[in-house]
Structure 1
């Protein structure tokens, strides 16, 4: 019998954990597969950590991977994929925004020959208008800059075949923008539309500051266009400055310049300074990622691992 493992990254979700586990178990029970669940504790607080251990102890088909601290969702997913066994792997969050009942449809598409089956949100209930608008703009900007096509309105909720999982595990980078990596590996992919519900309880761990940094991660991980823009912008500003310098020279030689150009001088200096700082910032973003990769640290550390027992 084919084996399916559901990888669930968890960070402080004690309030919804029991309800999620009940729905996930019911969804997996309806499949003619040997199904297992692997929870990844990404440095959760004590109530959540205790409940995860209880679930792993109470159910033979439930495993638990405990990371040494909070490494972030992208790393937690990578850790889960490293330890997930079976012919296919489901990635799903524990906040009940993604319906476990959709897994059966994912499996149908997988058996039809697709290596990656992802849920595509047709509606984002519970998100503010600002968050929906910025998400739409972000995905369009990312695809305009990226070298690979990244599906819009798609998160981590998906099924991966064994060869897709092996391909992801073979990628060595430590800056893990998973949405981009899912697209980068290629293989045959299919979308399943669904309505993303509001959180069943608690609040999102993603502040706008974290979302901004996450967006920067995606752009710098899958595009070098910002570096080219900095180069072209520098060339443009230099050309305009040269032409303006010629204009001022000719004007001074013909009509003279009795009034000092202090305002225009300040404007030019501030403009050029701003452009230089922006270009240095773009270069710094890429340099920081190069520095992180060059250190060669392991992606994560585990405190304990309890694989499923069946």
Structure 2
């Protein structure tokens, strides 16, 4: 018998704990037929509702359901890392508790594992149910990332992924504090099969990802897997220095030939404001990388455990 670790990050998902379990257990016959034992690792990311209590109730019914509860909200990236670190199985699969990651895909995913793939990942081919502006920015992010980074990040990629033990160990070897798992998956490589499916809206509860949180998350991805923004800041600095030098020459020549003093303080104010804005923008880019470095060198733990069952 081989062990399959099912990792389920949770934040305020009390309504979905039992629903997810029931949906997963529809594959029980497949698990038995393939010779798989399972452990279900619910990672409670500092929930403010009764998520932990619901998992405890489930554990009383089925000891295969385990709880790992954080001392506070550390974020989904920390929950994923904790789940992978706790997982003992020869295989590990990550799934959201809101059932947007259909457990019914597991039999097909194992078929590709048997064919020799190291991992099987999923991606959404539609974004039905999402606000249009949010979908547009999401697609734009993936386009930009794949242009400025050598690490491939597939458009619509979900965290729903089945992995062999060697892939899990490779991911765990990356112990950086500022984690962007979608990029880490691509960086470690290995043979990956992509499964496509249409977007499934969550049945209960509300999404925890606001537009602002997604924007900050995208910045984490850019700074974690590309240094192109730093190069852009340098190029803009060179261009504006060249522009300023040419402008000085034009003013000197104009004065010598026409004797016309330089006038137009409003235009001067606009130019100063523009250049100052560019400087602050470039300084902000450098600050983002410096902030990430600052967090890394402090060596704080990625998460802290309050309770484990």
| Band the TM-score falls in, shorter-chain normalisation | over 0.9
1:110 is matched with 113
Q: Which residue, out of 257, 265, 268, partners 2:268?
A: 265
The structural deviation recorded for 1:128 is 1.6
Tell me whether 1:22 sits opposite 2:25 in the alignment: no
SS at match of 2:126: strand
Indicate conservation of the 8 Å contact 2:69/2:306, yes or no.
yes
TM-score, structure 1 normalization:
0.96
2:2 is matched with 2
The unaligned stretches of length 5 or more in structure 1 are none
1:124 is matched with 127
Counterparts of 2:92 and 2:214, CA distance in 1? 26
Q: Which residue, out of 208, 212, 216, partners 2:211?
A: 208
The structural deviation recorded for 1:10 is 0.5
The structural deviation recorded for 1:294 is 0.5
Moved over 6 A (4+): none
2:198 is matched with 195
1:165 is matched with 168
The structural deviation recorded for 1:273 is 0.1
Q: Kindly tell me: are residues 216 and 178 of structure 1, through their superposed partners in 2, closer, same or farther at Cα, counting changes over 3 Å?
A: same
Tell me whether 1:13 sits opposite 2:13 in the alignment: yes
Matches within 5 A, 1:1-310: 1-31=1-31, 32=34, 33-258=36-261, 260-306=263-309
Counterparts of 1:41 and 1:203, CA distance in 2? 16
The structural deviation recorded for 1:258 is 4.2
The unaligned stretches of length 5 or more in structure 2 are none
The structural deviation recorded for 1:225 is 0.3
Instruction: Provide, for residues 19-76 of structure 1, a one-character-per-residue CA deviation record: whole Å limited to 9, x for no partner.
Output: 1110012124422211221110111124222101111222121111111111000110
Indicate conservation of the 8 Å contact 1:124/1:198, yes or no.
no
TM-score, structure 2 normalization:
0.96
Query: Structure 1 residues 19-28 or 292-301, which shifts more?
Result: 19-28
CA RMSD of aligned residues (A): 1.2
Indicate conservation of the 8 Å contact 2:68/2:308, yes or no.
yes
SS at match of 1:5: strand
Counterparts of 1:258 and 1:175, CA distance in 2? 54
Q: Kindly tell me: are residues 28 and 9 of structure 1, through their superposed partners in 2, closer, same or farther at Cα, counting changes over 3 Å?
A: farther
Indicate conservation of the 8 Å contact 1:125/1:196, yes or no.
yes
Query: Structure 1 residues 17-26 or 80-89, which shifts more?
Result: 17-26
Instruction: Provide, for residues 157-208 of structure 1, a one-character-per-residue CA deviation record: whole Å limited to 9, x for no partner.
Output: 1111100100111112000100000010011111011112111112111111
The structural deviation recorded for 1:151 is 1.2
Indicate conservation of the 8 Å contact 1:9/1:42, yes or no.
yes
